[in-house]
Structure 1
Amino acid sequence: MISAGGSGIGLAMAQAFAQRGARVHISDISPAALAAARSALPGIGACVADASDPGAVASWFDAAHAHLGGLDVLVNNAGIAGPTAAITDIGPAQWDEVMAVNLRSQYLCVRQAVPALRRSGRGTIINLSSVAGRLGYPLRTPYAASKWAVVGLTQSLALELGGDDITVNAILPGIVDSERSRTVTETKARARGVSVAEQEALILGNVALHRKVPLPDVAATALFLASPAGRSFTGQNFNVCAGIQTLI
């Protein structure tokens, strides 16, 4: 099961798992994104759901259990970028929205998934954090705070669920080559009063490989964590970031 699987990282993961013969069920808040995903990946299950809403999550899990007949892997991918602004210009409603989508969604999905993962005998939880979950991120405080929290959630769940042989790890993508990443860069450039080209050059200047991370690289990390080779990894943060040192 992959939340927010209709586009971006979530879709790349759905494609990777499906290509390996896995049965996949995704959710997304966008009906259009789900329709496109189902067209590209015939045979996957799909459900429109807001991952931050308890009722919607429960309905998604009911549909997924009916489609899959069990559960081995949960990927908590739902997330939003949130506002790009000084902390004094960010309202409580904006803060709460980021925390709901980026953090509460993971709690809601894990809570639903654990009983089935215990029965699996090879349960795997993969939480999407970000390099903003280990680095400071000026003008992006709600996003960074939520992603640091995901790391804490991951490490705590790894200890709590280890006795059930459920692995729990976090993937921390860097500057991913995606539409959302490009939008974030454009917004940050406007906030800092520089051109998009200048902002991108500043960002990639702090990346060891001086490039963005391809979506398939993030998906490949999830595949590894869900594979037999990944069974001894838990409570870990996998930085798929091309060696980024600073967020600007």
Structure 2
Amino acid sequence: MSGNVGSKVAFITGATGGQGRIAVERFITEGYRVVMADLFAEPLERVRVEVLQSHPSAELLPLVVDQASEESLRDAAEKTREWAGQIDALALFAGVVQSDGLPLLEMSTEEWDRVHSVNLRGVFLACRELVPLIPHNSGGSVVTISSWWGRNAHPFYSAYCTSKAGVISLTQGLAAELADFGIRVNSVAPGNIDTAMHRAALEGEAAERGITFDEMRDIEWSKIPLKVAGPPESIVDAAYWLASDQASYVTGATIDVNGGVLMT
């Protein structure tokens, strides 16, 4: 074990993505040591260098991890145990979307499995392998990322919607199982978030319709009561709050961060 033993440790998957990258910096700012997990070494190294430029004393452990792989997650758990001894916050930002909107009756088994293997099976595997590193009755927390599309189904995106609905259910079940051990489990359900992925989707739809990006953006954002896609920081703010002591009496909850597009 190395580093400051008194510091809390956060394990963040999807650490080089739009929201995960912001989460890394947020937890570092709050004094955590951070395990940065994602699929590829090069972007992990880039994010590590960027974070150290603004936080020279940050303690970071970059790990190449495939959330769909039992072996990869077991290896990550062992390396984290060697580096820090424990985890205090497990934040599961890694996820995929469907490559295309497809009718359920025309969807390939491969596409269904690809989405579920990361979004749902991967969350199960990550929890199974990493939650044992969270000490009992020490304020530890798990935060999953679901979606407002997991709250109700949308046509042509059945694989994505069901995977995220499964995350909400898994969150509730695990929260009940871990309550006796003082470990909280909650989820954040984002709405439309202004990420590179969101903008790429708008650009693709605009091209199909033969309109400009701005026109497509205005069409989609007008459907949101707050009239704007949320900043990625809004999801990280919610995830950090759930992981913090300020949410010490919150478990089994799914927090909607969606600008009012779905009110539950």
Q: Same fold (TM over 0.5)?
A: yes
Residue 188 of structure 1, CA deviation? 4.7
**2-structure distance, mates of 1:9, 1:103:** 18
Q: Does 2:75 match 1:59?
A: yes
Find 2:240's aligned residue among 223, 227, 231: 223
Structure 1 match to 2:100: 84
**2-structure distance, mates of 1:70, 1:131:** 32
TM-score, normalization: structure 1? 0.92
Higher helix share: 1
TM-score, normalization: structure 2? 0.87
**1-structure distance, mates of 2:102, 2:136:** 46
Structure 2 match to 1:2: 12
Residue 111 of structure 1, CA deviation? 0.5
**1-structure distance, mates of 2:210, 2:80:** 45
Indicate the SS of the match to 2:187: strand
Indicate the SS of the match to 2:28: helix
Indicate the SS of the match to 1:24: strand
The structure that has the greater radius of gyration is 2
Matched residues, number: 245
1:56-94 deviations in whole A, cap 9, x for unaligned?
Answer: 111111122222221111111110112222223321101
**One-letter code of the match for 1:211?**
V
Residue 202 of structure 1, CA deviation? 3.0
Residue 190 of structure 1, CA deviation? 5.8
Runs of 5+ consecutive residues of structure 2 not aligned to the other structure: 1-10, 53-58
Structure 1 match to 2:174: 157
Residue 189 of structure 1, CA deviation? 4.9
Change (3 A) 1:29 1:120: farther
1:105-162 deviations in whole A, cap 9, x for unaligned?
Answer: 1111110123222446212000000111113323222111111110010111111111
Q: Does 2:27 match 1:22?
A: no
Structure 2 match to 1:128: 145
Aligned identity (percent) is: 27
Mapping of residues 179-218 of structure 1, within 5 Å? 179-189=196-206, 193=209, 195=211, 196-218=213-235
Structure 1 match to 2:21: 11
8 Å contact kept, 1:81–1:184: no
Mapping of residues 90-109 of structure 1, within 5 Å? 90-109=107-126
8 Å contact kept, 1:12–1:219: yes
Residue 197 of structure 1, CA deviation? 4.0
8 Å contact kept, 1:84–1:187: no
Structure 1 match to 2:190: 173
8 Å contact kept, 2:86–2:135: no
Change (3 A) 1:83 1:184: same
8 Å contact kept, 1:25–1:68: no
**2-structure distance, mates of 1:3, 1:199:** 31
Structure 1 match to 2:46: 36
**2-structure distance, mates of 1:190, 1:83:** 16
